[in-house]
Amino acid sequence: MYLKRYTIASFILMIVVGWYVYAYVTHESLSLSFFGVNLPPISIAMLVVIPMFILYLGSIAHMAFYSLMGGFKLRKYERDYEKLIDAVCDAFLSKEEREHDFKTKRYMLLGKIVDNSTVFPQTDKLLDIENEKLKNIVDLIHKIKNGEVVNLKKLSLSPTNPLMVQNSLNRYKTGDLSAEEILINSKNFSQDFLKTVFADFVKEADGEKIMKYYKEFITKEALMSIVERIGSSDDELALSSEELVELIGSVELDEKDFIEISKALGKGLMPEERLKIFEKLGEHNEKATPAYLYTAFDLEMIELADEILESSPPEEFKNFRAYKALKECNQNFNIDLFI
């Protein structure tokens, strides 16, 4: 109820009642006494109006109190609504730690769900959203997904955040950051992103720079790019045998991977150097032994291969034993058929 309208209506009612009592009921006055004190005579019509006025004041106080309480409650809902918007923004941004304190039960439920959910917004359908805060976040995510570079400093996202990773990748692709700048400032980027950049970096970097950064970022993909450059006539890479052993030994490889590396190195290394690399690798990793055998047979160093086969149990290296048997029968096959 509007207080102004209620006040006007109340005063009209009091005036009408007072007038009616005075005009049609009685003109008399009444003298009241309180605690031995005699008050001046008061018209009976006025005595009728006074309780009505007191009731009016009480009703006004009642309405004001509950209006104030309602305002406080409404304010709680408004604040929780803003917190829910913040929670949705944080969910859109894939923030790792999300916990918002809600005061109302309904928003507590919604907030708990949002704070513990992964949300992938369809940004192209939300660009015209009315809420300004959400609109800015959606617009930012849309730009990052489309390969644009945006400023994320104010959002305090961790380096491993998917949006930070993608934005860094966008900066890298647009030339805003070089591969070496990224590797030098590695603490500002996620490990997965750094490994991706390093895999590109080794395609053109010299041996000294590769050896400088490989320990933290090398992957199987990067290693294969390195060994392929060893024998490349277009972009040959110079690395010593010790450095190659160090690089190859730093990656988790299976038997086939070691053999593929031997094939790649066969294009650019001297036979003795190639064999020496896999001999050293085999001393520390038995998975490299098949690659050593492959290299020995590929280089026609049968005696070296025999030493390994004779010292190994008969059930091991059956493919190489078969190749050797055919070789002894003057049957020449490509060693690649037996791996």
Per-residue confidence (pLDDT) for residue 233, from 0 to 100: 58
CA distance 209 to 222: 13
Is 15 contained in some domain?
yes
Q: What is the tens place of the pLDDT at every residue in 148-189?
A: 999 988 888 888 888 988 898 898 888 888 898 889 888 888
Q: Which residues neighbour 117 within 8 Å (Cβ) at sequence distance 6 or greater?
A: 91
**Domain coverage including residue 10:** 3-32+40-92
- Secondary structure letter of residue 54 according to DSSP: H
- Residue 223 inside a domain? The answer is no
CA pair distance 321, 280, nearest whole angstrom: 22
Residue 28 resides in a domain? yes
Whether residue 135 is contained in a domain is answered as no
Query: Of 255, 195, 254, whose CA–CA distance to 225 is shortest?
Result: 195
- Residue 162 three-state SS: helix
Average pLDDT for consecutive 10-residue bins of the chain (339 residues)?
Answer: 83 90 82 73 84 89 82 86 92 88 89 89 87 92 92 87 89 87 86 90 90 90 90 74 91 91 86 90 88 87 83 82 80 76
Cβ(232)–Cβ(268) below 8 Å: yes
CB-count burial class (<10 Å; 0-12, 13-18, 19+) for 203: middle
Amino acid at site 199: A
In a domain, 55, yes or no: yes
**Is 110 part of any domain?**
no
Task: Compute the distance between CA of residue 14 and CA of residue 53 in angstroms, rounded to an integer.
Answer: 7
SS3 81: helix
C-beta of residue 298 within 8 angstroms of C-beta of residue 266? yes
Residue type, 217: F
The answer to whether residue 85 sits within a structural domain is yes
| 144 alpha-carbon distance from chain centroid | 13
Residue 25 pLDDT: 83
> For residues 207 and 213, what is the distance between their CA atoms, to the nearest angstrom?
10
Alpha helix locations (H) across the chain? 3-20, 44-92, 105-115, 132-145, 162-173, 179-184, 191-201, 207-217, 220-230, 241-249, 255-265, 271-284, 289-298, 302-310, 318-328
**Domain membership flag for residue 190:** no
Task: In whole angstroms, give the CA distance from residue 74 to residue 96.
Answer: 31
Number of domains the chain is built from: 1
pLDDT digits (tens, 9 = 90+) for 188-242: 888 888 999 999 999 988 889 999 988 889 999 999 999 888 866 566 788 888 9
Please give the pLDDT value at position 246.
Answer: 92
Q: Is the pTM of this model over 0.75?
A: no
